[in-house]
A = this chain, B = another copy of it.
């Protein structure tokens, strides 16, 4: 933990103390001393949420520290690799590419070798044909005529390929996706993805802590944009039983 305090997201603690002593103090008390220790979401999940938010908003200053911390916190190299690939689709190709050099350096420093990285074409997880057909049908009905390209890629490249890659479990892919959506302020797409996340095992308490984590890393406005939308989603889930 001393190291975590020392490097404050890759900016030296001494630089922070020279410019904004309060920011250093808040980092220690709120973030290192409290946020990451809160119950409700494991440190491993907090790392997934945090690196997803950083990549989504190109917060490159935080890459070295939080990539390393993710591996420290139990995110496997295989999972980290899949998070980057997943976010190419959900935050934009260049966002994913922007983190590649840092991850490679981190892998190399830690002696992570090629066998720890997922195959390009692994055996895929089984598909929920009924659920996926329903999703595809609904999207196709809405957008199939006007946007055949996006609709086709969404089915073929995303839900029948990317989402079935075994290196990152569906619940974790949803956690990464939800984090990116909140970090980017794309809250209108939370209903689909948060429901999907909860169907895959994300608890209500965990989803609340995702927002707490993102308040600090993506800013309070991201959290306050997400909360009313998530509240409505949760209330509807209760009603539907």
- Kindly report which residue of chain B lies nearest to residue A103, judged by CB atoms: B19
Nearest CB in chain B: distance from A48 CB, A: 16
* A contact face: mostly helix, strand, loop, or mixed: helix
Q: B-facing mask of A184-223, CB < 8 A → 1, else 0?
A: 1110110000000000000010001101100111111111
Q: B-facing mask of A66-85, CB < 8 A → 1, else 0?
A: 00000000000000011011
Chain copies in complex: 3
CA distance A92 to B92 in the complex (A): 20
| A127 is an interface residue with CB less than 8 A from chain B | no
Other contacts beyond A9-B97, A22-B82, A57-B92: 15, CB < 8 A = A10-B97, A20-B100, A20-B103, A40-B149, A58-B59, A89-B215, A89-B219, A90-B220, A92-B218, A146-B234, A149-B209, A149-B211, A180-B221, A189-B224, A189-B225
Residues of A within 8 A of B (CB): 8-11, 15-16, 18-27, 30-31, 38, 40, 53-54, 56-62, 81-82, 84-85, 88-98, 100-101, 103-104, 107, 114, 117-121, 142-143, 146-150, 153-154, 157-158, 165, 180-181, 184-186, 188-189, 204, 208-209, 211-212, 215-225, 227-228, 230-231, 234
